[in-house]
Amino acid sequence: MANVVVVGTQWGDEGKGKIVDWLSERADVVVRFQGGHNAGHTLVIDGVTFKLSLLPSGVVREGKLSIIGNGVVVDPWALMEEIDAMRSQGIEVSPRNLHIADNAPLLLALHRNLDRTRETAAGNNRIGTTKRGIGPAYEDKVARRAIRIGDLDEPEVLPEKVDKLLFHHNALLRGFGMPEIDRDGLIAELSEIAPKILPFSGAVWKVIDDARRAGNRILFEGAQGTMLDIDHGTYPFVTSSNAVAGQAAVGCGQGPGAIDYVLGITKAYTTRVGGGPFPTELADETGRTIGERGREFGTVTGRPRRCGWFDAVLVRQAVKINGINGIALTKSDILDGMPELKVCTAYAIGGETIDYLPASSLRQTSVEPVYEVMEGWAESTQGARSWAELPALAVKYIRRIEELIEAPVALLSTSPEREDTILVHDPFAD
């Protein structure tokens, strides 16, 4: 029985929610290993829509254990709101089916305030964050001043840790000419949320290890996408954590041997939210059409996504960096009826042709896509559940993508409904 990691191969928003939900029916444990509540998953189950941000997708399935790992920054108030929302939709969320790492860092209101202040002050040079405080929370983690979930269970030392945190944050706020954080008020807020969040916390690395030894199938669920990874993405227009497959082990306390199969979620075209380079972006009617058809608006923010042609260079790079075994191709049905399609097969920079996205931010903004033009298909692929139902030209497009990215299609999604999925290879079978 294989343990599977699911990662995005582009700039996020590839449709991970539906694929993870589809896979979670086959899994026993679903683990969220990085990011925060800036990432959103939309699940459609029997016509009911569930919007998740922090909770692993397995929480909507009866009998599955969901785990939030230490690689996640946890806003406890946002998490409790999400739990309440799930309960209002008839989904049980309790310490019986949800565990949170006691060494996961907390995301506080002061992180959100700092995030918003920085983005506003940056003006046209802003990163384009969700302003949820993710970056500042990870900064505090790395600087060793974060308050972690387990700290809430030690009220005798919590004030000392708050003082250490505020020594840094209040200095920043003074520099911005903003009011300082009230120490006693923050301690009171943490003391109030503690009894609500602590019943879920524990040593999740041990829970996962026990599950592995028992032969349970584990699904490791990432957020964002490879090109938003803090090391391998389009820096500095990236998230503040590692979003690649290797983080799956680190983000929940397992060794590399815990990973058997890496599934890369890949959209049949390309989108991104916020600032940063985007070689195949279509700032024209075609781009707007793709965005409207694909309903390309952020689950968390509602912001419209930038849209463009499929970038095989970008995805092939993600395949190599993640060690991807196969991809789940999503939203190919959005391209139905388009007379011609373009696929980026290389980049050109000043007369030089390259087959990867360089790390240099200057070179990233200078690349020009080299396109291969393909004939589109007139027939609908929406809802197809077998290869035989797909138009020949759609199959040709998919096969060409496989060749260019050097990875096979393991799953093909043809609508938001989980049943509208063509299984080529079951990742859990490895």
Active site residues: 13, 41
Question: Which two three-digit tokens encode residue 337?
Answer: 């009826």
Q: Which segments of 97-235 does DSSP mark as H helices, in order?
A: 109-122, 134-142, 158-175, 183-197, 204-213
3-state secondary structure of 17: helix
Q: What residues have CB less than 8 Å from 398, skipping those under 6 apart?
A: 329, 332, 390, 409, 412
3-state secondary structure of 275: coil
Cα 154 to the center of its chain, rounded Å:
32
Cα 177 to the center of its chain, rounded Å:
34
Amino acid at site 400: R
* Antiparallel, parallel or unpaired: β 4-8 and 261-267: parallel
Question: What HEC string does 282-340 produce?
Answer: CCCHHHHHHHHHCCCECCCCCCECEEECEEHHHHHHHHHHHCCCEEEEECHHHHCCCCE
Query: Dihedrals φ, ψ of 73, to 5°?
Result: -95, 125
Which of 103, 123, 296 is CA-nearest to residue 201?
A: 103
Question: Which two three-digit tokens encode residue 318?
Answer: 């993600």
C-alpha span between 34 and 287 (Å, rounded): 31
